Structure 1
């Protein structure tokens, strides 16, 4: 097998670059990790619910890193009307992200009922915007719904939306279950699915003892991880990379106390941007899918989103062991612990 791999214009179709000091730290890491096109999530505080704010945010990112192609999204919210969708389409906004209320970071403004947004989805269908779905439902003890099965319970919503809007491009984000893979595979070509790097390695056993592995949706059983790996090995173009790289300061991951003296909750998120493409290559090689790397991190997602690769943006990997740092520091005391801290990658980005 060759010791180098060249990939045309790697793309990450789900990334968080935050705001403030954290944004200053992590935004350059997207390109550092080998990504040329990044699809940016809108769950800021407050969430991005207008075209004007999305364009302001894009300008902020371009100021930090003008070489990366930043694709912007809106946060599904009552402020996002059909008229706003048409305005967004004219401005080059690419999609709308749906967060069920309270299921993950900054989702308190999320939705509870999809039916009220059908006029918005109709406008998106007409204008060609993509609907990105965080595929979980809120926990409900009375119905035995928890973070362990929240994704499975969401799949009926996915199927109904796909049936009701056959021309709307829909992406089920960061799948973690065999049931999600099976459902997406069974639906028409307007439905696709992102898979993260970390869910190709994590299971519930590796999450339980380690707060830096805690994310939403939660990693599940080995059989579910196998289903994600098999989806990539199949070469099915419905499945492509969306890293859900989600940095949190170490203080939000480490145990502490709230102002009321209660233990603080652990923030949900795993951070992979600074070494994303070498990590994906390392993981795919580990389960015999290195030959599917180009499709997974470039061709499949780009075709679904209609964002062709640029020859000038190709990336070459070389076989070289590199160690993931234990801590990444920025200005103002910002610190982030990356995924796989202290572990070795089998691939590195060639600088030649």
Structure 2
């Protein structure tokens, strides 16, 4: 990576955690994403969820049709399957053979469209054994769902109750602890002992690097800063920023950009999710610059993700310029609108 105080050039990044939805809204989300990223891990929590290879292939076909309508031929969707209590070992082997990138673990009820997720991880052990055997990564939404556990503690409790036992039972299984939000998660991934090959990594979102939980309540309820896992205390944001900018290859970019129409967010029971696809790279650059670590951005954004997934690194270069960018107050989303992260504000870095 070459850079100056006003310009950064880096290998084109990938987004290792992305929601693009389906239907009319997909085209708008894809346009924002493909402007910045070469590839993206596509989340499977549609209605109904993408639980089989056949459903994933059909979803990929719809994505490719929208890319063609947009005239985009330089973006690759990396498909995933939604893990359930009933996922079979045969489906895992079929998924590997047909190029599915990973399986996604949603604890039932943990987040948007997760009601058909896993109720008890031990019900998935045959599928997990097959995943370990064929080298299929498991992507984890790391929160317990018990109402007895405070929402701000659910990630830390998940480490103790689910993730650590899971890794002991399947030491060869590659796991991505997605959108981590706590000091406990950052330190767990940083310090995890693995075998000869690294088997654990974590993605970090722009909102969790830039915001703490005060951002949800600044002058009133700020629904467009509400996501799951929820923003945490400042000490956790600082720990995440330290992890992301450390140069440790276990941490890489995953926006968890999650489009919800403005009306669905600004509602009596608003949806969880921040929309960062519009300006994600500028947001990440701002976070890295805040601790004078812009030289570490290329590893986090462009190198460590493909290395963990055993995929080739991209070769195309992109340029970010230190140039103020006004974030629109709203963007089109199908026949509705969406409010992007930092709407109405200015960010310091712009993709050339």
TM-score by length of 1: 0.93
For the pair 1:237 / 2:241, whether they are aligned, the reply is no
The residue aligned with 1:347 is 349
- Measure the CA separation in 1 of the matches of 2:45 and 2:63: 15
Note the C-alpha offset of 1:70. Answer: 0.7
For the pair 1:218 / 2:230, whether they are aligned, the reply is yes
Aligned with residue 199 of structure 1, among 208, 228, 231: 208
Could you tell me whether the CA contact under 8 Å between 2:109 and 2:145 is conserved in 1?
yes
Note the C-alpha offset of 1:340. Answer: 0.6
Summarize deviations over 1:276-330 as a string: whole Å, max 9, x none: 112211221122221110011111111101122232x321112211111110014
Could you tell me whether the CA contact under 8 Å between 1:246 and 1:270 is conserved in 2?
yes
- Measure the CA separation in 1 of the matches of 2:287 and 2:227: 19
Q: Secondary structure at the match of 1:148?
A: helix
Q: Which moved more, 1:269-278 or 1:201-210?
A: 201-210
Q: Secondary structure at the match of 1:317?
A: strand
Could you tell me whether the CA contact under 8 Å between 1:50 and 1:79 is conserved in 2?
no
For the pair 1:80 / 2:87, whether they are aligned, the reply is yes
Note the C-alpha offset of 1:336. Answer: 0.5
For the pair 1:175 / 2:180, whether they are aligned, the reply is yes
For the pair 1:13 / 2:20, whether they are aligned, the reply is no
The residue aligned with 1:248 is 260
- The answer for unaligned runs of 5 or more in structure 2 is 68-72
For the pair 1:272 / 2:284, whether they are aligned, the reply is no
- Paired residues for 1:27-42 under 5 Å: 27-32=30-35, 34-42=36-44
Could you tell me whether the CA contact under 8 Å between 2:245 and 2:300 is conserved in 1?
no
The residue aligned with 1:258 is none
Q: Secondary structure at the match of 1:115?
A: helix
- The answer for unaligned runs of 5 or more in structure 1 is 256-263
The alignment's C-alpha RMSD in Å is 1.2
- Measure the CA separation in 1 of the matches of 2:351 and 2:7: 9
Aligned with residue 111 of structure 1, among 109, 113, 118: 118
For the pair 1:337 / 2:339, whether they are aligned, the reply is yes
Could you tell me whether the CA contact under 8 Å between 1:162 and 1:191 is conserved in 2?
no
For the pair 1:154 / 2:163, whether they are aligned, the reply is no
- Measure the CA separation in 1 of the matches of 2:190 and 2:119: 26
Q: Secondary structure at the match of 2:279?
A: helix
For the pair 1:136 / 2:139, whether they are aligned, the reply is no
Could you tell me whether the CA contact under 8 Å between 2:261 and 2:333 is conserved in 1?
no
- Measure the CA separation in 2 of the matches of 1:330 and 1:162: 39
Summarize deviations over 1:155-189 as a string: whole Å, max 9, x none: 02111111211111101111111011111112122
Note the C-alpha offset of 1:7. Answer: 1.4
Note the C-alpha offset of 1:233. Answer: 2.4
Q: Secondary structure at the match of 1:7?
A: strand
Could you tell me whether the CA contact under 8 Å between 1:62 and 1:68 is conserved in 2?
no
The residue aligned with 2:331 is 328
- Measure the CA separation in 2 of the matches of 1:106 and 1:73: 15
Note the C-alpha offset of 1:79. Answer: 4.3
Summarize deviations over 1:34-83 as a string: whole Å, max 9, x none: 11110000000000000011011111112222421110100001442110
- Measure the CA separation in 2 of the matches of 1:271 and 1:95: 23
- Measure the CA separation in 2 of the matches of 1:139 and 1:68: 39
Note the C-alpha offset of 1:140. Answer: 2.2
- Measure the CA separation in 2 of the matches of 1:21 and 1:242: 24
Note the C-alpha offset of 1:246. Answer: 0.2
